[in-house]
Amino acid sequence: MSGQADEIAEVLAAVEGVRAPDRRRRVTADGIDLAVIEWGAEDAPPLMLAHGGFDFAATFSRFGPLLAEGGYRVVAWDQRGHGDSAWAFSSTWDSDLRDAVAVIRSTSDRPAVFVGHSKGGGLLTTLAGCRPDLCSALVNLDGLPSKRPHPDVADHERTRMLADDLAGWLDHRRRARELERRPGTLDELAARRGRMNPRLPMEWLRFLVTVGARHDSEGWRWKLDPALRFGGFGPWRPEWMLYRLAGVTPPFLGVLGLVQEEMGWGTTPEDLEGRLPPGGRLVTLPDTGHFVHIERPVEVAGLVLEFLGEVL
**Domain regions of the chain by residue span:** 15-180+212-311
| 178 pLDDT higher than 60 | no
DSSP 3-state assignment of 234?
coil
Residue 52 and residue 193 in contact, taking contact as beta carbons nearer than 8 Å: no
pLDDT in tens, 128-156: 999 999 999 999 999 998 875 544 444 55
| 163 pLDDT higher than 90 | no
| 197 pLDDT higher than 90 | yes
Q: What pLDDT sits at residue 154?
A: 47
Q: What pLDDT sits at residue 139?
A: 98
Q: What percent of the chain has pLDDT over 90?
A: 76
Residue 307 and residue 281 in contact, taking contact as beta carbons nearer than 8 Å: yes
Rounded to the nearest integer, the mean pLDDT of the chain is 90
Q: Is 217 exposed, middle or buried (0-12, 13-18, 19+ CB in 10 A)?
A: exposed
Nearest to 68 by CA among 102, 19, 16: 19
Nearest to 38 by CA among 57, 11, 12: 57
**pTM of the predicted model as reported, rounded to 2 decimal places:** 0.90
**What mean pLDDT is predicted for residues 200-229?**
93
Phi-psi region of 270 (alpha: psi -120 to 50; beta: other; left: phi over 0): alpha
Residue 145 and residue 275 in contact, taking contact as beta carbons nearer than 8 Å: no
pLDDT in tens, 250-290: 999 999 999 999 899 999 999 999 999 999 999 999 999 99
Q: What pLDDT sits at residue 246?
A: 95
Q: What pLDDT sits at residue 185?
A: 96
Q: What pLDDT sits at residue 174?
A: 61
Q: What percent of the chain has pLDDT over 70?
A: 86
| 235 pLDDT higher than 80 | no
Q: Which CATH class is domain 15-180+212-311?
A: alpha beta
Phi-psi region of 164 (alpha: psi -120 to 50; beta: other; left: phi over 0): alpha
Q: What pLDDT sits at residue 243?
A: 87
Return the amino acid letter for 215: H
